[in-house]
Structure 1
Amino acid sequence: MNIFMHELKAYRKSTIIWSISLMAIVMLYMSFYPSFVKDSEQFMKIMEGYPEAIRNAIGVNLGNFFTILGFYCFPLTFVTLCGAIQAMNLGTSIVSKEVREKTADFLLTKPVTRTTVLTSKLLASLISIFITNIFFWAAASFIMQQVKTDDFSFKLFMLLSLTVLFVQLMFLALGIMLSVLMKNIKSVLTVSLATVFAFYFLGMFFDTSGEEAKRYISPFKYFDTTYIMNHSSYETSFLIAGAVIIILATAASYFVYAKKDIHSV
């Protein structure tokens, strides 16, 4: 419990910063919605000039872009990208910061198992992510009520909003696995940004290929907002694939960490 509270306190500042950032993104972009609806024809002509792959990458679907939920998918893309960086940063720092700050041997001399240590750190990271999402959902719900021109489905809103959390959980699991596999991560932010943007640009590239199977490579492509809008549900195969990634990456992290040699100072 002491480890959990210590980690939670350590993440307090970053949780506040990320929460404010995601809230600012969604509130800023959604505040433009009335202007977009007012000049929809002009904006439609502008959007039609962009390649379809670019429109998909930034969450623009011309079929429903000028509905409030369709427009919401646009800032949601950037929120998901930022949320993935937050989660990857948390996951990558879970173990690596102890090695980098030369406190790993001190921590492991405490009368707790390695499983307890990793679980406490993981729970603190999850709490940080959940808090960030709660504030984001609250801000998104508030601003949409203020700028809406018609009623919208709250169920669809929540399905779209929850995609941020699901993507974050995948990147958190991947980050933890990297944290225990790599001997010494000198810069957590560098590794996090490189990993997240690599997956993001891979997703953009696969949009141009048109091959459905390649979507499994990038977590950013697991939740197609157009499909969610049309079917009011997620694609089952991608939902299962995401769960498998989280479970396998987390299980591998526990297995490796339990047997890993921790170098003393």
Structure 2
Amino acid sequence: MNIFLHELKAYRKSTMIWTVSLAALIVFFLSMFPGLTQDADQFKKLLENYPEAVRKALGVSLDSITSLLGFYSYGFTYVILCGSIQAMNLGTSILSKEVREKTADFLLTKPVTRKQIVTAKLLAVIISLVITNVIYMAIAVITASVVSEKSFDMNTFLLISLTAFLVEMMFVALGILISAAASKIKSVLPISIGTVFGFYILNMLGSVIGEKAICYLTPFKYYETSYIIKHSSYQVSFVFIEIVLIIAAIAASYVIYSKKDIHAV
């Protein structure tokens, strides 16, 4: 419990910064919606001038962009991208920071097992992400209600918003696996940004060429907002795949870290 509280306190500042940043980002995007609805036809004509490949890469749908859910989905793309960097950053630093800050040998002398250490750190990361997403969703709902003159499907809006946390959990699992497997990570930020943007570029490539196989290779494709808006639900197959991948990655992290040779300072 002491490790959990210590980690939660250590993530407090970064959690606050990320929460404020994500909330400010979506407030900025949604604040432009009233102006868009006044010139909806002109805005559509402007987007039509862009090549179809560009619109697909950016996640812009001409059929729904002038609706609140459609416009929110477009802005949400950048929210989920930033949130994934936060999650990857937290996941990668879970175990690597002990080696980097030369506190691993001190921590391992405590009367706790390595599995208990991983569990406490992982729970602290999950709680930090939950706090970020709950506050973000609350602000997003309030902002959407203020800027939209017409009613919208709140259930669909919340389903879209929740996908941020679901995608983030996949990056947390990947991050902790890297953290457990790597002998030493000097800086987590290059790894976090590189990994997230790599998957995001793969997502854009899949949207452009329409290759369905790519959908299984990047977390950003698991929860298509166009599908959620149309069906007000997730694709069950991708939810199942995510659960399997997260369990496999975290289980592997426990095994690797339990057997890992950690050098004393």
TM-score bracket, normalised by the shorter chain, equals over 0.9
2:168: which partner in 1? Answer: 168
Cα contact 2:57–2:208 (8 A) shared by 1? no
Instruction: Give the deviation of 1:227 after TM superposition.
Output: 0.7
Change (3 A) 1:242 1:71: same
1:236: which partner in 2? Answer: 236
> Helix, strand or coil for the counterpart of 2:55?
helix
Q: Superposition pairs for residues 60-75 of structure 1, below 5 Å?
A: 60-75=60-75
Cα contact 1:30–1:143 (8 A) shared by 2? yes
What amino acid is aligned across from residue 23 of structure 1 in structure 2? A
Where do 5+ consecutive residues of structure 2 fail to align?
Answer: none
Instruction: Give the deviation of 1:120 after TM superposition.
Output: 0.3
1:55: which partner in 2? Answer: 55
Q: Superposition pairs for residues 63-142 of structure 1, below 5 Å?
A: 63-142=63-142
2:253: which partner in 1? Answer: 253
2:178: which partner in 1? Answer: 178
1:152: which partner in 2? Answer: 152
2:194: which partner in 1? Answer: 194
> Helix, strand or coil for the counterpart of 2:215?
helix
Distance across 2 between alignment mates of 1:36 and 1:263: 58
Instruction: Give the deviation of 1:49 after TM superposition.
Output: 2.3
1:12-45 CA distance string (max 9 Å, x none): 0000000000000100000000111111112111
Cα contact 1:53–1:204 (8 A) shared by 2? no
Instruction: Give the deviation of 1:10 after TM superposition.
Output: 0.2
What amino acid is aligned across from residue 19 of structure 1 in structure 2? T
RMSD: 0.9
Distance across 2 between alignment mates of 1:47 and 1:171: 32
Distance across 2 between alignment mates of 1:15 and 1:80: 15
Distance across 2 between alignment mates of 1:66 and 1:206: 24
1:57-115 CA distance string (max 9 Å, x none): 43321111111111110111000000000000000000000000010011001000000
2:215: which partner in 1? Answer: 215
Distance across 2 between alignment mates of 1:254 and 1:43: 51
What amino acid is aligned across from residue 28 of structure 1 in structure 2? F
1:2: which partner in 2? Answer: 2
Distance across 2 between alignment mates of 1:225 and 1:53: 18
Instruction: Give the deviation of 1:229 after TM superposition.
Output: 0.6
What amino acid is aligned across from residue 16 of structure 1 in structure 2? M
Instruction: Give the deviation of 1:52 after TM superposition.
Output: 3.3
Structure 1 stretch displaced more, 83-92 or 182-191: 182-191
> Helix, strand or coil for the counterpart of 2:150?
coil
Distance across 1 between alignment mates of 2:52 and 2:250: 35
Distance across 2 between alignment mates of 1:89 and 1:171: 9
Instruction: Give the deviation of 1:53 after TM superposition.
Output: 3.9
Give TM-score, length-normalised by structure 1. Answer: 0.98
Cα contact 1:58–1:78 (8 A) shared by 2? no
What amino acid is aligned across from residue 196 of structure 2 in structure 1? V
Change (3 A) 1:240 1:51: farther
Distance across 2 between alignment mates of 1:214 and 1:123: 31
1:26: which partner in 2? Answer: 26
What amino acid is aligned across from residue 154 of structure 1 in structure 2? M
Distance across 2 between alignment mates of 1:49 and 1:242: 37
What amino acid is aligned across from residue 247 of structure 1 in structure 2? I
Cα contact 2:19–2:132 (8 A) shared by 1? yes
What amino acid is aligned across from residue 231 of structure 1 in structure 2? H
Instruction: Give the deviation of 1:181 after TM superposition.
Output: 0.8
Where do 5+ consecutive residues of structure 1 fail to align?
Answer: none
Instruction: Give the deviation of 1:210 after TM superposition.
Output: 1.2
Give TM-score, length-normalised by structure 2. Answer: 0.98
Query: Identity percentage over the alignment?
Result: 55
What amino acid is aligned across from residue 51 of structure 1 in structure 2? P
